[in-house]
A and B are shown apart, each in its own frame.
Chain A
Amino acid sequence: MSAVAEGQPGALDKQDELDALSRGAKRRVPSLSPTQAELIDAAIYGAPNAQRASVYAFADAPVLIDVKHVERIYNADSENYTHALHDVSLQVREGEFVSLIGPSGCGKTTLLRLIAGLDFPEEGQLTVSGKVVAGSSYERGYVFQQGALYPWSTVEGNIATGLKARGVYGKQKHRVAEFIEMVGLQGFEKSFPHEVSGGMAQRVAIARALINEPKVLLLDEPMGALDAFTRIELQDKLLDLWKRLSSTMVLVTHDVDEAIYLSDRIVIMTPRPGQISETITVELGRPRARNDIDFIHLRTTILEKLHLAGEKPEPEFRI
């Protein structure tokens, strides 16, 4: 969090200030710098999270997804091309929960689609468990923004799609009921997608992707269209599934809280061209509380990195 301190009024040399005052300048009231704020918080609430022992548990886990220097340019041969991804490299380790966050147009969905094999890079290489991604596979489950459920198929039918498509439905029929129970949709088996709520529909989409036991679940803003209450509920459900199936998940989101609440690492991306600006390890123990001081600190940091923090009000007096 030290990166923010530079150039802040609080970091001004004390001697300069005194000199200025001796020349008759009016005493200026600096705002509290994050560093100072941190020190105050540390005094009140204990040491900030960064100084605690690391809780990141995946440092030694094998690399599952390896993205190496990927370039993706839409309409590369036309004049109005879009440079969607520039020199993107990322490693996701087995069992990890990684979030891609950034403003729209930063290429986070493009990156997810490349990992899924729904799109291909102009340059660079993507491997999943050592194999080059050459197309989509059921080993990389994908949850779409609006769920993309089959409207003509029931909840049960949608969840069973993967088994049927792979021709293993006959043998693994029982797993459909298992997954319906896992996402808490008992009693809605025979409902059609438009008959269930938005949150339920996304749970169907998640169960549908998970029933194939993918190596990684890729989630493209699955909670973007949900209201705040449903979103929080679904986040907990997702964590529950993540733990229960000990799967790897990569989530695209524009919700900072969501990213912090769920992830082990947060990848911050910036647009034009889309690239990774920073990767933050979330050193918070689980379960996480959204009103925890460390949580709020981390949110402030990320918002500032995304230039979303906004102007702080000037304090009325100094302590």
Chain B
Amino acid sequence: MFWKPQSRVWYAVAVAGFGIALAVSFFVPANIPGFAPGEIHSIDYPIDPTNYRIVLAAVAVVMVALYPLSYFFPTLRKRLFHKAQFVFAGALTLMLWDLLTSKLFVLRPPYFPGPVSILAYIPSNWFNLLSHVGASSRLFIGGLLLGTIAGIGTGILIGWFRQWFYWLFPILKFTGVVPATAWMPIATVLLKPAPVAMTFLLVIASWFIISFMMAQGMESTPKALYEVSETLGAKRSYQLFHVAIPHALPSIFTGISTATAMSLLTLVAAEMMGATAGLGYFINYSKTFNKWYQVYAAIIIMFIAFSIILAVIERIKQYALRWQKGLVS
């Protein structure tokens, strides 16, 4: 698992990497073209490097502090040493990014803001950003939840009853082939207020794949499992809830994972088009005002927020499929 060289040298190098990045931030002068170094000029993006330096220093300090601690936790030590090279590469990337943008202006603002600008922006506007995260999350969770419920419901119907399959499956297939974003103009016109329209789009995005996977999982149940329950005295309803649906559970979660990705895609696209809040809206809004550091900040926040959502779904999956542990890797 931790196969990288277990050497403290790489760990030291990684810490040093952050030192170098700090040194670059402190000692390389900002060579703004057209201005002499140090000359005051008018700019419309944050350039205060304090937050950036704090982050670099904090990482270095944490790494130094973890080192003696790692003597008591062998797994932690292995993990730290395993990750050392990557952390070092991360430090170098930050340094290079800082150098190319804020220092040498090879990559120019406003399209390429440095880490300095982004990190200066985020903490000073955290409340604003958080409200957008909240708006996005609410929509996303609501849409995915409704889509999952609808998907599982229709999945059971088409997977268990021939009549439902006959009537419902073609419709389902239609909504599955057409991307949810194609409905956006119709939804935004017909469904008011905007969150309702977007929830509808998210439901469309997740409904098909979840119900499809659900039905497929039920249909692939081995005949022997039904026959066993039959010889044990089970009725049809018992077979549905205790054989077919449990057997479909791994498939459902495959469906939910895919639906999550599709929903996030639809969410951001929909927010960019017709919302007044949310991270997608914020990105679009920032672009309009040429505040590209806000766009990058929103992307980073998006990464963090969506990672948390995915981690929660993964946890639920692991709990629901705990009987599979060791059966599949």
Contacts and interface: CB of A to CB of B under 8 A. Distances in A.
Contact of B229 (A154, A165, A195): A165
A165 B225 CA distance: 13
B246 interface: yes
Interface string B57-77: 000000000000000000000
A165 B235 contact: yes
A32 B233 CA distance: 55
Nearest to A116: B231
Contact of A148 (B224, B235, B323): B224
B1 interface: no
A212 B228 CA distance: 13
B242 A136 contact: no
Nearest to B327: A194
Contacts of A136: 227, 230-231
A141 interface: yes
Interface string B215-238: 000000010110111111111001
Nearest to A195: B326
Interface string A188-209: 0000101100000000000011
B249 interface: yes
Contact of B323 (A141, A152, A165, A166): A152
Interface in B211-269: 222, 224-225, 227-235, 238, 242-243, 246-247, 249
Contacts of A151: 323-324, 327
A179 interface: no
Contact of A162 (B233, B246, B324): B233
A261 interface: no
Contacts, number: 72
Contacts of A192: 323, 327
Interface residues of A, number: 27
Interface string A155-191: 0000001101110000000000000000000000000
A162 B232 contact: yes
Given A165-B242, A194-B327, A148 B228 contact: yes
Contacts of A209: 231-232
Contacts of A194: 326-327
A242 interface: no
Contacts of B230: 118, 136
B246 A152 contact: yes
A309 B95 CA distance: 82
A13 to B, nearest CB: 57
Contacts of A141: 231-232
B222 A148 contact: yes
B228 A164 contact: no
B231 A152 contact: no
A165 B233 contact: yes
Given A137-B233, A165-B233, A152 B327 contact: no
- Range of interface residues on chain B? 20 to 34
A317 B231 CA distance: 58
A140 B231 contact: yes
Contacts of B323: 151-154, 192
Contacts of A162: 232-233
A150 interface: yes
A162 B242 CA distance: 12
Contacts of B238: 164-165
A140 B247 CA distance: 25
Contacts of B231: 116, 118, 136-138, 140-142, 209
A161 B230 CA distance: 11
Contacts of A150: 225, 228, 242-243, 246
Given A153-B323, A195-B326, A144 B224 contact: yes
B326 A138 contact: no
B226 to A, nearest CB: 10
Interface in B304-329: 323-324, 326-327
Nearest to A218: B231
A215 to B, nearest CB: 12
Contacts of A195: 326
Contacts of A137: 231, 233
Contacts of A142: 227-228, 231
Contacts of B234: 161, 165
B243 A144 contact: no
Contact of B247 (A152, A154, A161): A152
Contacts of B246: 150, 152-153
A165 B230 CA distance: 9
28 contacts: A116-B231, A118-B227, A118-B230, A136-B230, A137-B233, A138-B231, A138-B233, A141-B232, A142-B228, A148-B222, A148-B224, A148-B227, A148-B228, A150-B225, A150-B228, A151-B323, A152-B246, A152-B249, A152-B323, A161-B242, A165-B232, A165-B238, A192-B323, A192-B327, A194-B326, A194-B327, A208-B228, A209-B231
Given A148-B227, A164-B242, A212-B233, 8 more contacts: A136-B227, A137-B233, A140-B231, A144-B228, A153-B323, A162-B233, A165-B232, A208-B232
Interface of A: 116, 118, 136-138, 140-142, 144, 146, 148, 150-154, 161-162, 164-166, 192, 194-195, 208-209, 212
Give the top 10 A-B pairs by smallest Cβ distance, nearest first: A138-B233, A165-B234, A162-B232, A142-B231, A148-B224, A166-B233, A136-B230, A152-B246, A152-B323, A194-B327
